[in-house]
């Protein structure tokens, strides 16, 4: 029971990190600029001004946005499936779907962060990756660990 509650806490943590990484505006930061997947914030005087993302390769940006959102959706679905499978399926059949959904979420966030790394801000000399970018990679690791855990639990319960 303690292991299952630890898994639930870890899963909820991964979902929260995925949501923050997808929504928060700190994928790329400088002293006067903060950029996320959805917009560009610029400090003018004492106020932050929002603008749409310009001069970004649209096909890469849309792929990053879509896979980030899909990672959140698949991870949330995996959490619901975990709870549903825990109480409805017999031993030996539990957690397979949950593990697969979590693995897909893991792959989605890895794709988003990898494309962002390879294609966005590659020619900029100032600035760096912000906490949302770091959270995306941390959530990748957590979702991967959870996917493996679910698949190992399935094997142990047979």
Burial class (CB within 10 angstroms; exposed 0-12, middle 13-18, buried 19+) of 61? middle
For residue 38, count other CB atoms closer than 10 A to its CB. Answer: 15
With a cut of 60, say whether residue 78 has pLDDT above it. yes
Domain boundaries, the chain: 2-27+57-156
According to the CATH classification, is domain 2-27+57-156 in 3.40.50.300? Answer: no
pLDDT > 90 in the chain, percent: 56
CB-based contacts of 35, cutoff 8 Å, min separation 6:
25, 27, 28, 29, 41, 53, 121
pLDDT at residue 77 tops 50: yes
112 Cα distance to chain centroid: 8
Question: C-alpha distances in angstroms, 77 versus 73, 104, 137?
Answer: 6, 11, 20
pLDDT at 71 over 80: yes
Q: Is the pLDDT at 158 greater than 50, yes or no?
A: no
The reported pLDDT for the residue numbered 96 is 83
Other beta carbons within 10 Å of 30: 14
- What pLDDT does residue 53 have? 84
Give the pLDDT confidence score for residue 121 in this predicted structure. 83
How far is the C-alpha of 101 from the C-alpha of 20, rounded, in Å?
A: 20
**At which residue do the structure tokens 């790329």 appear?**
28
Q: What is the pLDDT of residue 91?
A: 64
pLDDT per position as a tens digit, 10-22: 999 999 999 999 9
Q: Which of 9-18, 31-40, 59-68 has the lowest mean pLDDT?
A: 31-40
Specify whether the backbone of 92 is left (phi greater than 0), alpha (psi in -120 to 50) or beta: left
Both structure tokens of 96:
């397979």
Radius of gyration of the chain (CA): 18
């Amino acid at each position: 029971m303690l292991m299952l509650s630890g898994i639930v806490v870890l899963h909820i943590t991964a979902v929260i990190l995925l949501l923050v990484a997808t929504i928060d505006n700190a994928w790329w930061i400088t002293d006067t600029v903060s950029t996320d997947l959805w917009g560009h914030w610029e400090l003018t005087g004492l106020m932050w001004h929002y603008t749409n993302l310009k001069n970004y390769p649209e096909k890469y940006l849309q792929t990053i946005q879509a896979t980030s959102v899909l990672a959140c959706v698949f991870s949330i679905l995996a959490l619901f499936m975990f709870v549903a499978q825990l109480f409805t399926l017999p031993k030996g059949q539990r957690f397979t779907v949950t593990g697969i959904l979590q693995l897909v979420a893991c792959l989605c966030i890895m794709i988003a962060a990898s494309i962002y790394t390879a294609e966005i801000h590659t020619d900029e000399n100032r600035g760096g990756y912000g906490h949302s970018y770091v959270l995306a990679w941390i959530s990748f690791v957590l979702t991967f660990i959870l996917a493996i855990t679910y698949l190992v639990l399935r094997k142990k319960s047979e």
